[in-house]
Structure 1
Amino acid sequence: MMARQSSLYPFSNNPQSTVYDPFIDYATGEIKEGSHYFKPLSRTIMQYVEHLEHKFDGEIGVLERKHVHADGVVYIGKEANNIDEQELDVKKVQEFIDVEEIKRKILGIPQKEAERLGVGRSTFQDIKKRIFEHGYLIYNTPAAKKAA
């Protein structure tokens, strides 16, 4: 005796016909139907083949790995250990900023470099003056972050 397919289970036993059955678009909540909503495997394979590899130099043959040039280090708290497993919009990871290093870096930047980074002349001079005269830096300003 063959069991009848339940109406609660919308998928047929034939995967080739499943793409023609109605389905729910979970982004909009609409019920849609038709094979034109599905990407063919051939397109997926071609996108993989044509995908540029950003970790390597060159385009064909044996490729050489690109070198990483770090322009700074940000120390983060230990709760960042499984950061790839955390949900989106969770509490931001606590950062430990080396303010002394940032102050040294800002004091070593010429005026033209600061302007190229998007920090105005008077703003940059104010930041440097505050560091020289008072020894502190307000790091959370957009200008200080650009200069750092």
Structure 2
Amino acid sequence: MEITIPLPNTLTCRLFINNGNPFVYCRNKVPPSPTFVFNIAEGYRVLRAKVEEHFDNKIPDQWCADYDIYFKPTNNAYQKDFQVLCSDSSALQVQLDTAWHKARLRNGGQAGFVLELYVYVPKPVEATITLRRATAARIREQMPRVAEMLRE
């Protein structure tokens, strides 16, 4: 029979801020935050406030209320398998319980467990500039503008 260690009252967390969209490959926008301690009894709102604080320390005045917080459920989870943290306290407890239970399979076991949290900052939409070939029709179209510029 396997002995399991129950979920502790506090978890060590680390925030990663990625540039791009969730569930697809993207790069870290900034280095990860230092670890911080989250008291599970405090619930989702306090965790979100701590994440916002660490986010603001790394990228000031960029936090958006629409950002979701994702967590890495297992050590070898692909980015497409990351899960959104639930705002409901009982669902959050289940998510953390599951991650803690799976942490026993890690190399360092549950002793070295750090809950990895991820926030994705969408890339700014850049205006695309298309190249236009200098066809005879386009040259004729621009001739009056060129003539006007030369007169000045």
Please give the range of the TM-score, normalised by the shorter of the 2 chains: under 0.3
| Greater Cα radius of gyration, structure 1 or 2 | 1
Bigger fraction of residues in strand: 2
The TM-score, its normalising length taken from structure 1, stands at 0.17
Which of 1 and 2 has higher RCO (CA within 8 Å, sep 6+)? 2
The TM-score, its normalising length taken from structure 2, stands at 0.16
